[in-house]
């Protein structure tokens, strides 16, 4: 890949976006997010993905220069749908994807971050959807995900004013899980990622699936699915190992089976 590189450490794929100067989301970069998932999907040594940006930003937004090559609304809609498809894959991916955000996550950059399962930010990071300043609206599901995190009223304010919020505010509103000092961001996010990587991959995948029900289905559909998943997970080797390890007062050794 040209714009994303990654390494492995204790069950975590540490992936870096590197497209200077602002890590703008070009079509090619969005396709590389999809390719990153392809590369880690069947790698048994990778149980969690930690995504961050090199340089000054996580991602300052979509590559606006590419918009000038779009000739019709229909083509623009197809561009939107293709990006949405990749970000939906991130959101439903069976291995947790964690975004570590410094500098700025704006426009498409924030839309990518919102598709991740968790977001950790620096206190002084800037998060926002400024598309209305261009006479546009967000196109990678930003209008749909943002209200789910911060509520409709705050989402309306952020969308209609184009004003970003700080990392500290993002954590207060629920857009980010936690805010850290800049020098601590990667260390703290990696520590949390490694903690998750020690859990049963079978149970982690089931938990991610259930969170999708919580976001998109009714309560009754969710609890019905949970009961079915509970039984399926119980039959796994990981569940037997986890229960036995608890009784023997030792750390469980999960194998994802």
Is the backbone peptide bond immediately before 12 cis, with ω within 30 degrees of 0? no
CA distance 148 to 70: 30
- Rounded to whole angstroms, the Cα distance separating 124 from 225 reads 40
**Backbone φ, ψ for residue 4 (5° rounding):** -125, 130
Say which of 32, 91, 123, 131 is annotated catalytic: 131
111 belongs to the catalytic site: yes
DSSP notation for 194-218: HHHHTS-HHHHHHHHHHHHHHHHS-
Instruction: Give whole-number Cα distances, 34 to 27, 38, 96, 164, in Å.
Output: 11, 6, 14, 27
Bridge partners of 178? 120
Selection from 233, 203, 25 nearest residue 115 by Cα: 25
Contact in structure between 96 and 208 (CB atoms under 8 Å): yes
Catalytic residue among 91, 111, 123, 169: 111
3-state SS, one letter per residue, for 44-92: CCCCEEEEEECCCCCECCECHHHHCCCCCHHHHHHHHHHHHHHHHHHHH
Site of tokens 């991959």: 201
Residues marked as catalytic: 111, 131
């Amino acid at each position: 890949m040209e714009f994303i590189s990654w390494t492995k450490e204790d069950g975590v794929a540490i992936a870096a976006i590197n497209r200077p100067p602002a890590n703008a989301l070009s079509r090619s970069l969005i396709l590389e997010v999809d390719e990153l998932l392809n590369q880690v999907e069947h790698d048994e040594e990778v149980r969690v993905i930690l995504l961050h940006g090199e340089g000054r930003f996580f991602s300052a937004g979509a590559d606006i220069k590419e918009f000038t090559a779009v000739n019709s609304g229909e083509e623009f809609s197809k561009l939107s749908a293709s990006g949405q498809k990749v970000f939906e894959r991130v959101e439903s991916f069976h291995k947790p994807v964690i975004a570590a955000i410094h500098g700025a996550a704006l426009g498409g950059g924030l839309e990518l971050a919102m598709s991740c399962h968790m977001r950790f930010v620096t206190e002084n990071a800037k998060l926002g959807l400024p598309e209305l300043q261009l006479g546009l609206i967000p196109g990678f599901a930003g209008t749909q995900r943002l209200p789910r995190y911060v509520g409709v009223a705050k989402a309306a304010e952020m969308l209609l004013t184009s004003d970003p919020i700080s990392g500290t505010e993002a954590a207060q509103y629920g857009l980010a899980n936690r805010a850290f000092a800049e020098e601590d961001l990667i260390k703290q996010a990696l520590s949390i990622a490694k903690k998750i990587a020690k859990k049963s991959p079978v149970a982690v995948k089931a938990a991610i699936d259930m969170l999708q029900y919580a976001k998109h289905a009714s309560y009754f559909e969710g609890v019905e699915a949970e009961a079915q998943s509970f039984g399926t997970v119980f039959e796994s080797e990981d569940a037997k190992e986890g229960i036995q390890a608890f009784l023997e007062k030792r750390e469980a050794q999960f194998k994802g089976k």
